[in-house]
Structure 1
Amino acid sequence: MKRADRQVLMRLLSYLRPHGWALFGAFALLAIATATDVLGPLIIKDFIDHYLTVNHFPVGPLVRLASLYIVLLIITASFNFLQVLAFQTLALRIIQRIRIEVYSKVQALALAFFDKTPAGSLVSRITNDTEAIQDLFMSVLSTFAQNLFLLTGIYISLFFLNAHLALLCLLLIPLIATLMQVYRILSTRVYHLSRQKLSQLNAKLNESLQGMYIIQAMRQERRLRDEFGEINQAYRQVRVRNIKINGLLLRPMVDVLYMMTLMLVLWFFGVRSLSHVVDLGVLYAFVNYLERFFEPINNMMMRLNLFQQSLVAATRVFMLMDETQLAPSGEEMGEFPETGRGKIEFRDVSFSYDGENDVLKNISFTALPGQTVALVGHTGSGKSTTINLLMRFYPVTRGQILVDDVPLDGYPDDVLRNRIGLVLQDPFLFVGDMRHNIRLGGTHFTDEEVEDAAAFVQADRFIKRLPKGYEEVVAERGATLSSGQRQLLSFARTMVRKPKVLVLDEATASVDTETEIAIQEALSRMRHGRTTIAIAHRLSTIQDADQILVLHHGEIVERGTHQELLAKRGLYYNMYLLQQGGSAAARHASHVALAGDPA
């Protein structure tokens, strides 16, 4: 076994440490079941040699012999059931812990990791790969332990029957070990490819399900079906290679060794019968033990299949658990103001996604408590990146961001998230009822607070019209609600937490005009007394902002109020004319700009 595989195996086995007594009990049950199983052929040997071959059938001893054999069968069956139950219960506990650890690690990863990792691949690692690891603890571990116990008992019994022939049978061990090593070498690469192709299959499936609207709207069903078929075909080919290796090296080769060993044993007893009396009971017991010897070998060889899959799957899972690209987090310094007013300051902030090309360059601005700062600019200008840095989704490359005069990394995650409320352009709703989606894990929020927040943003208008009101179940991603209703729910979700800072990522872009008017009214109340950082594509929605920052290629090229920027007749002025359209709008904008020009 390679060093890397040994390290993975030892790391897997380390999960057994908290369950030492449960593991000891499982092995004890296994040892008892194996011991009683091995004694069976010796009882039959006594029956053949002492009663069957001499035509003498005393009732008493035979009843005792039969009773002992039946008792051993019952004990074997009972303890086998208990040891299987013990091992599988232990396996489920371990896999539960591993899945929780993997899921927790995924939640702690940086958004940059998700930017380059398909969601389907992560789902495959958390579900399929951990399921493969489960086979190690549930099937492989118990089978190998049981069979090693059984092989030890069989060898002891063989030495009891005939020491010379038992020594000869020891030659089987290096042959079997060599066969296992050859199988492991050939199968490792195949299993790596198999898990990789399965991950790609899940990624393509996840992508197709997420984009089903676009696939059907653009009539891309055939193309996606062909792409899925190619990945599926590649996965099938890898599995066929796996089947060929298993078909050649598992049971067929073991059966060949068994037949050759059986011929050797029969030849040995045949030669021995020429000069010595051979007890039929001894011959039966030896052949029976020989058959029992190769059955666990077959079982272990078959489990090598699962063992290799478990190691490969564990390697993939541990790679995810060891991922170092973690989400930025703060360390509580004990100096942040508990009741800060919401001052936001960017000091020469620069950022690069790839470490080479800056998408933000020396961004500096200050949003005083209660002010509204709007970010505008063409697609790719850096608006969303600015928001992502403020929310600490990505680490600042250069410069510094301060909240209430405290550096961003000086805040613990829970304090920062409670202080800053985020509303996205495309709100995400979870399966559950309306109240659950507004509360979103905040169990300390009362029903009254939830309903007050919904009323504050006017979401209660449509919620009360639902058949079950706040108990109405929301479908996955809020599919049964309109975009405006989903946005209102996300507003309520933010306001129930009473943040000091509002971050609005084009919060009205995906709603109709009527709903936008209602949301603008709610926004006006939400912004009162709160610092607001807003990304806006519709310039008409941010005309009352205290400061408008115009971003272009990651730099602030203009800043000022709506009137001031129009008077400059720069990029903002052109964007405004483009959105208004027509010469009449242009004349109006020019008139406004001239009227507002102090010169």
Structure 2
Amino acid sequence: MKHKDQILTSKEQRAILWRLLGYAKNHKKSLLLAFVLLLLATAAELIGPILVKIFIDDYLTPGEFPFEPLLWLGILYVVLHISSVFINYFQAFMFQTISLKIVQELRVDVFSNVERQGLKFFDKTPAGALISRITNDTESIKEFYLTVLANFVQNILFLIGIFIAMFYLNPTLALFCMILLPIIFGLMQLYRRISSRLYADMSEKLSLLNAKMNETIQGMAIVQMFRQERRLRKEFSDVNEEHFQAGIKTMKLDGLLLRPAVDLISILALILILSFFGVTSFVSPVEIGVLYAFVNYLDRFFEPVNQMMMRLSLFQQAIVSGGRVFKLMDHKEFAPVQTGTTSPLIEKGNIEFRNVSFSYDGETDVLKNISFTVKKGETVALVGHTGSGKSSIINVLMRFYPLERGEILIDGHPLSQFANTELRENVGLVLQDPFLYTGTITSNIRLYRDQLFDSEVKAAAEFVRANEFIERLPGAYEAEVTERGSTLSSGQRQLLSFARTIATNPKILILDEATANVDTETEEAIQDALKRMQKGRTTIAIAHRLSTIKEADQIIVLHKGEIVERGNHQELLQQKGLYHKMYLLQKGSELEHTK
């Protein structure tokens, strides 16, 4: 699948290059020192052939060998060579250190921007594609700073020095050699133009590979249960083959336009120089030292050209990757933030929905004129079939998505006026499938909130009765938790998420089918904890099992994004509407299970 937005024009490539170079601004002093060292090393290397030329023309050809001048000439040659080795080491080390620091800053910037995106962005962007941009693409950019940039700067300075030395030796021949520059520059431009499309395609295929791997690994249980290994292996193999073919195309291009083309130009240049000296010899004598120096400089001229050409592929990969990374960094589908100048506080936690309508795609409303009120100490339960809009109410209340129609108030203040910190600290959310991080039991409850002491973490665990299983684990509160808490049961993971939520003592409690995936024994502990958690707090609970919300102060029944019924458990049963049908169906199902 081709992505036209990945094919960059020359203007876009230049803009990306300047933007990449802009990251070097924070390292001006270090770069200046590295450049000074680079100039010294380049000068030391370039003076060498001139010293040899002096030895040949002034001493060897005349047959004069005075000891002291030759000794100083030899010492100077050796000192320059040794100095060049040491200076090159230090300047290369400095350039590489600066490069690593720049890429470190770039990765932090792109990761920070990803964190700022709203959930709408993550709904439509594969996780594997994001991982590919933050890891693989920034790795390509690292090669730009680490390998390409320093090499290009060093070799361009070296080429300038070579031409200065050539003009010093023979201005006429140096002018002839200047013809090589536009030829080589044209070759580079041709390579960049063709390779940009090829590397864009290869990067996109690598992104698809990562997305496919991420999706498969995340759903491995389903893959194995439904025996989908062969199908997914075939799909992965197909994408991998496309990536391989894209790589082959770049290799063919590199094999044609890089070293072989430059070698051909170098042979033509050598023929030009030898012909020039051959013709000149018929008119006037040729200095052997000058001929040696010119041939030496010509060889040295094509060495940096070859190095730059061989790194053009890395340069082009970095430009393509930079375009993908900057596109991600420039994406501004941010999560909703505070608006206005006031910063109200959540004191009681009273919630009011006023004619709230909401759409994820801007076309189809999943919520239609939703209005209800929940006061401090009250519990409102949201029930309805799948797709009725229950989770969408939670999403807009948590300000995960922007609200464009209607109004949500907390303690009489619009939701949009609250600072993000105030909202997150005072609204506790427990999801149906809790997410646990790699770490310990303590770190998963605390979630790196340093203001929570160990005693508060343990108190929260005891409050939800999670301590009963935690204390049986090896290491208790310091027991290791694997990725996503895979070694814990669903009930244990849910208890930990309850402890994590209650540890912050929120004024508003949101339960998104919090007991849906727990066993009967754990549910009893959770229901007991819930009763204590709900006291004095505003609670909104989503539930599929109606038996868990019988005691709610108000039950709101949703159907296709609209409120069709409301009341307490007994009132709704008496209405003999949708709630009554749902209750009878669940009750009948539960009776069947008990037989």
TM class by smaller structure: over 0.9
CA distance in 2, matches of 1:335, 1:354: 30
Which is further off, 52-61 or 313-322?
52-61
> Is 1:250–1:298's contact at 8 Å kept on the other side of the alignment?
yes
Report the counterpart of residue 65 of structure 1 in structure 2: 73
Report the counterpart of residue 475 of structure 2 in structure 1: 468
Does the residue aligned with 1:374 lie in a helix, a strand or coil?
Answer: strand
Task: Identify the match of residue 130 of structure 2 among 122, 137, 156.
Answer: 122
Task: Identify the match of residue 551 of structure 1 among 545, 554, 558.
Answer: 558
Task: Identify the match of residue 17 of structure 1 among 25, 43, 47.
Answer: 25
2:405 maps to 1:406: no
Q: Report the alpha carbon displacement of residue 51 of structure 1 after superposing the two structures with TM.
A: 3.4
Partner AA of 1:421 in structure 2? G
Report the counterpart of residue 261 of structure 1 in structure 2: 269
Does the residue aligned with 2:557 lie in a helix, a strand or coil?
Answer: strand
| Structure 1 residues 551 and 88: alpha-carbon distance in aligned structure 2, compared to 1, 3 A threshold | same
Report the counterpart of residue 447 of structure 2 in structure 1: 440
CA distance in 2, matches of 1:463, 1:322: 44
2:130 maps to 1:106: no
Report the counterpart of residue 180 of structure 1 in structure 2: 188
Q: Report the alpha carbon displacement of residue 532 of structure 1 after superposing the two structures with TM.
A: 0.6
Report the counterpart of residue 208 of structure 1 in structure 2: 216
Does the residue aligned with 1:503 lie in a helix, a strand or coil?
Answer: strand
Partner AA of 2:192 in structure 1? R
> Is 2:381–2:555's contact at 8 Å kept on the other side of the alignment?
yes
Report the counterpart of residue 590 of structure 1 in structure 2: none
- What is the CA deviation profile of residues 289-344 of structure 1, one whole-angstrom value per residue up to 9, with x for unaligned ones? 00100111111112221111111111111111111211111136435135x11101
CA distance in 1, matches of 2:341, 2:458: 35
Partner AA of 1:189 in structure 2? R
2:392 maps to 1:385: yes
- Structure 2 length-normalised TM: 0.96
Which is further off, 487-496 or 465-474?
465-474
- What is the CA deviation profile of residues 384-412 of structure 1, one whole-angstrom value per residue up to 9, with x for unaligned ones? 11111110111113101111111110001
2:97 maps to 1:89: yes
| Structure 1 residues 404 and 39: alpha-carbon distance in aligned structure 2, compared to 1, 3 A threshold | same
Task: Identify the match of residue 459 of structure 1 among 460, 463, 466.
Answer: 466
Report the counterpart of residue 284 of structure 2 in structure 1: 276
2:338 maps to 1:330: yes
> Is 1:333–1:411's contact at 8 Å kept on the other side of the alignment?
no
2:422 maps to 1:415: yes
Does the residue aligned with 1:581 lie in a helix, a strand or coil?
Answer: helix
Partner AA of 2:311 in structure 1? R
2:559 maps to 1:575: no
2:135 maps to 1:143: no
CA distance in 2, matches of 1:118, 1:334: 37
Which is further off, 269-278 or 306-315?
269-278
CA distance in 2, matches of 1:582, 1:433: 39
Report the counterpart of residue 494 of structure 1 in structure 2: 501
Does the residue aligned with 2:369 lie in a helix, a strand or coil?
Answer: strand
Report the counterpart of residue 566 of structure 1 in structure 2: 573
Which is further off, 559-568 or 393-402?
393-402
Q: Report the alpha carbon displacement of residue 174 of structure 1 after superposing the two structures with TM.
A: 1.0
| Structure 1 residues 219 and 582: alpha-carbon distance in aligned structure 2, compared to 1, 3 A threshold | closer
Q: Report the alpha carbon displacement of residue 137 of structure 1 after superposing the two structures with TM.
A: 1.5
- What is the CA deviation profile of residues 471-500 of structure 1, one whole-angstrom value per residue up to 9, with x for unaligned ones? 111111111111111111100100110000
Task: Identify the match of residue 238 of structure 1 among 246, 262, 267.
Answer: 246
Report the counterpart of residue 364 of structure 1 in structure 2: 371
CA distance in 2, matches of 1:121, 1:172: 43
> Is 1:438–1:492's contact at 8 Å kept on the other side of the alignment?
yes
Which is further off, 47-56 or 453-462?
47-56
Q: Report the alpha carbon displacement of residue 47 of structure 1 after superposing the two structures with TM.
A: 2.2
CA distance in 1, matches of 2:67, 2:486: 78
Which is further off, 528-537 or 21-30?
21-30
Task: Identify the match of residue 220 of structure 1 among 222, 228, 242.
Answer: 228
| Structure 1 residues 474 and 185: alpha-carbon distance in aligned structure 2, compared to 1, 3 A threshold | same
| Structure 1 residues 584 and 380: alpha-carbon distance in aligned structure 2, compared to 1, 3 A threshold | closer
Q: Is there any run of 5+ residues in structure 2 with no aligned partner, and where?
A: 1-8
Does the residue aligned with 2:174 lie in a helix, a strand or coil?
Answer: helix
Partner AA of 1:558 in structure 2? E
2:495 maps to 1:480: no
> Is 1:332–1:412's contact at 8 Å kept on the other side of the alignment?
no
Q: Report the alpha carbon displacement of residue 56 of structure 1 after superposing the two structures with TM.
A: 4.2
CA distance in 2, matches of 1:415, 1:256: 69
Q: Report the alpha carbon displacement of residue 583 of structure 1 after superposing the two structures with TM.
A: 12
- Structure 1 length-normalised TM: 0.95
CA distance in 2, matches of 1:133, 1:404: 49
- What is the CA deviation profile of residues 436-492 of structure 1, one whole-angstrom value per residue up to 9, with x for unaligned ones? 111102101111111100110111111111111111111111111111111111001
Q: Percent identity?
A: 57
How many aligned residue pairs are there?
A: 584
Which segments of structure 1 move beyond 6 Å, counting only runs of 4 or more? 582-585
Which is further off, 574-583 or 490-499?
574-583
CA distance in 1, matches of 2:229, 2:572: 48
> Is 1:352–1:397's contact at 8 Å kept on the other side of the alignment?
no
Report the counterpart of residue 167 of structure 2 in structure 1: 159
CA distance in 2, matches of 1:269, 1:583: 102
